[in-house]
Amino acid sequence: MQEFLPVTREEMNERGWDQVDFVYVTGDAYVDHSSFGAAIISRLLESRGYRVGIIPQPDWRKKESIQVFGEPRLGFLVTAGNMDSMVNHYTVSGKHRQKDSYSPGGKMGLRPDMPVIVYSNLIRQTYKHTPVILGGIEASLRRLAHYDYWQNKIKRSVLLDSGADLISYGMGEHSIVEIADSLNSGIPVQELTYIPGTVYKCKDLSRAADALVLPSYEELLENRKAYGKSFAIQYQNTDPFTAKPLAESYGTRGYLVQNPPAYPLTRQEMDDVYDLPYTGRYHPMYEKDGGIPALDEVKFSITSNRGCFGGCSFCALTFHQGRILQTRSHESILREAEKMTEDPDFKGYIHDVGGPTADFRHPSCEKQLTKGVCGNRQCLFPTPCKNLKADHSDYVALLLKLRKIPKVKKVFIRSGVRFDYVMADPDPTFLRELVEHHVSGQLRVAPEHVSNEVLKYMGKPSHEVYRSFLKAYEKANKATGKEQYAIPYFMSSHPGCTMKEAVKLAEYVRDLGFTPEQVQDFYPTPSTLSTCMYYTGFHPLTGEKVYVPRDPHEKAIQRALMQYKNPANRELVREGLRLAKRTDLIGYGKECLIRPERTKPEQPPKEQRNVPKKKAIRNIHKKKKK
């Protein structure tokens, strides 16, 4: 059986090591599965001959907790884990979450806010000069100055606050191997200024002569327009083929320089990464706590692709994985599926085969792999590009092969189907196959809203496209004799959504005849177009002013409108309808959302209170005679 990487000095000694090359410090529990970034990077380094020790969820109150292996030969690798820690800890309304799925038994409190900063500072207390490299989603999306929703202000790069030496941003395979090889060859970490997919500190721009200079941090603090301008430049330089280095000034502290992104992995490189010898399990030390809940969600799922050319404004994939699709070969995916069937817990169901968007299996057009993505337009928004290659044939062939594997009863698709891409494909085969073989009663899709004005700011197709998809979906169900439903995801309070648009969405939910169990209130996370709109009040790429619902009470009203049947939401819904001047929806008609407010019955005169009913009537008659 494949061994886990060492998590204690004793396990290191058992391998005959007197020192590790890298200590990997993570805010997640240690799960050796390819859906966890720490597992991928540590196994990749192991495959290149490096010795890696893992310190999962160290006690940040004790510096001894990061001294488990002593000083590593080459450096510390630090990540917050698979999720941004602030999203992991807090709801959009700022309340503490009750469960951390990446911790033993789902227990909260085993990691601090902003682990990449806290862990790095903890390391620096003991190891003053050992290289520290940050990675993972938290560092990747905070690599330059960014708007922080939780403190409602612009914060500087985590590279400065952490005291680390480098950030490896994006998925990191290319950059981390080059960093490791450079350090191993004796190059000081301060000299590693040339590696794509990294951010470094410098006193001047002598090594980044062709860099685009962004507005300084001081300008960003004073001027929201400067922040919008900076974000627009960053957004237009996320493509590895065309991006320029970006430099951000911090006054007397010098500059941060972001090198262009690393090139996407080739299909062979993708196969190599996912063919690494993962155990597919959480470390046995968590058995007593009931395991790691996050593994249950992905244990029998398969990653088939990376990147997304969907371009949703509220998604950070453009900044993290990029817009160029990277895919694994059928052979690699089938090997993983066959290995999965040997797991004693496998019941015959592959829960998902996909990625950010399940049905993307190749770049949107041929030129992307040599010239990169377009800087001035999206592939699917507002309408599909004429060069878009909408073709599901490879995905259909892959799913068919997976269904034929012995012991596989059903292959589901749960990671999201892009319905506008389905409608762009002239061949209806995929939709028919999806309905007949890969849906279990309900297909979850994400139209996000019904107002075209809001959808415009979301970077989503018009509502008419979604309606046409529903018709095609219903037709495919009838053709296959199925009775299955499309369950939509909707989002409230996105930039551009006035109370009028929120009521329009509530009316659509009413006409659907069901109440969403969960409503996603827009969550402004770092490095998204939507978050930039939320902070600045305008679209950074067009300069257009955007209405932004920021007030917590207004956000609560918009959320309540989608769940208008909930008695607890009655007063909020009534208030929202009045603000939108839609009191026509208060009443007893079938189109009304809520009933009118009950008025208290008129109280009888004081002398008639608590008087028997018959006697009270006689008293009324006496008064009339007088």
Q: How far apart are CA 522 and CA 494, in angstroms?
A: 5
567, 572, 573, 575 alpha-carbon torsion, rounded to 10°: 140
Q: Hey, what amino acid is at 209?
A: A
The domain of 18 spans 9-195
**Mean pLDDT, residues 25-40 taken together:** 97
Q: What is each CA distance from 459 to 219, 360, 430, 448, in whole angstroms?
A: 28, 18, 24, 10
Final residue belonging to a domain, choices 172, 195, 218? 195
Residue 94: CATH number of its domain: 3.40.50.2300
Check pLDDT > 60 for residue 624.
Answer: no
For residue 440, what are the β-bridge partners? Answer: 442
Q: Give the number of other CB atoms < 10 A from CB of residue 7.
A: 18
| Residue 26 domain flag | yes
Strand 75-79 relative to strand 132-135: parallel, antiparallel, unpaired? Answer: parallel
pLDDT at residue 102 in the model: 98
Q: Return the structure tokens found at 67.
A: 């001294």
pLDDT interval class at 614 (50, 70, 90): low
Q: How far apart are CA 618 and CA 131, in angstroms?
A: 95
> Count of alpha carbons within 13 Å of 398, Cβ hemisphere only?
28
- Which pTM does this prediction carry? 0.92
Beta-carbon contacts of residue 211 (< 8 Å; ≥ 6 apart): 205, 244, 245, 246, 247, 257
Position with higher pLDDT, 461 vs 517 = 461
pLDDT at residue 617 in the model: 45
Check pLDDT > 70 for residue 610.
Answer: no
| Residue 200 domain flag | no
**Mean pLDDT, residues 287-310 taken together:** 96
pLDDT at residue 371 in the model: 86
Check pLDDT > 80 for residue 262.
Answer: yes
| Residue 249 domain flag | no
Q: How far apart are CA 556 and CA 126, in angstroms?
A: 46
Q: Return the structure tokens found at 334.
A: 């089938």
| Residue 359 domain flag | no
Q: How far apart are CA 104 and CA 163, in angstroms?
A: 29
In tens, the pLDDT along 420-475 reads 999 999 999 999 999 999 998 899 899 999 999 999 999 999 999 999 999 999 99
pLDDT at residue 611 in the model: 52
Final residue belonging to a domain, choices 148, 175, 195? 195
**389: DSSP letter:** -
> Count of alpha carbons within 13 Å of 218, Cβ hemisphere only?
7
| Residue 355 domain flag | no
In tens, the pLDDT along 313-337 reads 999 998 999 999 999 999 999 999 9
pLDDT at residue 616 in the model: 47
pLDDT at residue 513 in the model: 85
In tens, the pLDDT along 208-245 reads 989 999 999 999 999 999 999 999 999 999 999 999 99
Q: How far apart are CA 48 and CA 213, in angstroms?
A: 36
| Residue 170 domain flag | yes
Percent of the chain with pLDDT over 90: 89
In tens, the pLDDT along 166-175 reads 999 999 999 9
Number of domains observed in the structure of the chain: 2
| Residue 68 domain flag | yes
Query: Please, which contacts does 604-612 make with residues 24 or more away whose CB atoms are closer than 8 Å?
Result: none
Q: 62-66, 573-577, 601-605: which has the minimum mean pLDDT?
A: 601-605
pLDDT interval class at 519 (50, 70, 90): confident
Final residue belonging to a domain, choices 195, 218, 252? 195
Beta-carbon contacts of residue 252 (< 8 Å; ≥ 6 apart): none
Identify the CA nearest to 180 among candidates 193, 171, 189, 170.
Answer: 189
Check pLDDT > 60 for residue 158.
Answer: yes
pLDDT at residue 619 in the model: 52
Check pLDDT > 60 for residue 618.
Answer: no
Q: How far apart are CA 471 and CA 479, in angstroms?
A: 12
pLDDT at residue 211 in the model: 95
**From the centroid of its chain, how far is CA 459?**
16
On average, the pLDDT of the chain sits at: 93
Check pLDDT > 50 for residue 1.
Answer: no
| Residue 449 domain flag | no
Q: How far apart are CA 341 and CA 339, in angstroms?
A: 5
